[in-house]
Amino acid sequence: MANTRAMANGNGAAVRSAKAEHDEEENIFLFYPNLIGYSRVVLAVASLYYMPLHPRTCSILYSISCLLDALDGLAARRFEQSTKFGAVLDMVTDRCTTACLLVFLASAFPRWSIIFQGLISLDLASHYMHMYATLSMGGAGQSHKKVEASRSWVLKMYYSNNKVLFTFCALNEVFFIALYLLSFSSPYLSPTLLKNSDSPSSLQAGTPAAPKPSMIFTSPWSAGAMEMARANKMDSTVPWILAIVSSPIMLGKQWINVVQLIKASRWLAEGDRAERKKQGLPRKKSNGKKRQ
């Protein structure tokens, strides 16, 4: 009888142990794709630190951060660790890093700042509207990358094919990185880099009118530090090639953003009409006047 109880107690402990192990909560924040996402954030912040003064270091760090965007998706599929948190982390990182780079370009090219401001607004608005429309109209369990062809064949092709999605996102970033490098290397885009040797300058080194650079830019964080960084000779050939090659894809990406914004707006409007109809709105008003 005692042996039976001991066996029962032993089996019960084993069952409880197995159940406890099964019921143990997974730490979503330590999934491999999310760890890659955190490293992307660190690399992006590091690239922003070097952005005003060290174009080569910044470009390398920023590019690695962008390339890891493809790796986290592979890890999610390989280890079956696709999560909503990971998808949102990935999208937020993409939007924030691109916006920060465009903010810098707006300061580097003040004449065209309104264009960069418009691109930031379009990027944020289209993705927010698309995400919100997917969650509110498609259900909480539906991914923003699942788009029906009947709703938009462009977005269907863009989101359903990983190669197409990676190509558009990668070359879009390549264009802005190339433009960033050109702000340090091309006198055609940055006239301050152009030195006219034919007409001698009225400012001669050593005169009070032209003090030493160390007297002007006493701090590497001063407003003129970027002009000092531009004195670091860079060849603009490769950035020009990258900008020209990637420009059609960049324009295509902006067109997709416009399509995404319009389609999401129409989808939300469909939901609003259905909801108002369910509530009996607009209410019919009586045209007849009450008799006295």
DSSP character string of 146-177: ---TTT-HHHHHHHH-HHHHHHHHHHHHHHHH
Q: Which residues are catalytic?
A: 94
For residues 172 and 57, what is the distance between their CA atoms, to the nearest angstrom? Answer: 20
Please write down the long-range contacts of 265-271, taking CB distance under 8 Å and 24 or more positions apart. 265/129, 265/133, 267/133, 267/137, 267/151, 268/129, 268/132, 268/133, 268/136, 268/137, 270/137, 271/136, 271/137
φ/ψ (deg, to 5) at 236:
-90, 5
Calpha distance 152→266 (Å, rounded) = 11
Distance CA(66)–CA(47), nearest Å, equals 11
CA–CA gap between residue 124 and residue 120 (Å, rounded): 6
Rounded CA separation 192/203 (Å): 15
**What does the angle CA 78 – CA 140 – CA 87 come to, to the nearest 5 degrees?**
35
| Token digits of residue 141 | 């369990």
Write the single-letter amino acid at 16.
Answer: R
For residue 234, give every residue at least 6 positions away whose Cβ sits within 8 Å of its Cβ, in sequence order, or none. 55, 56, 181, 184, 185
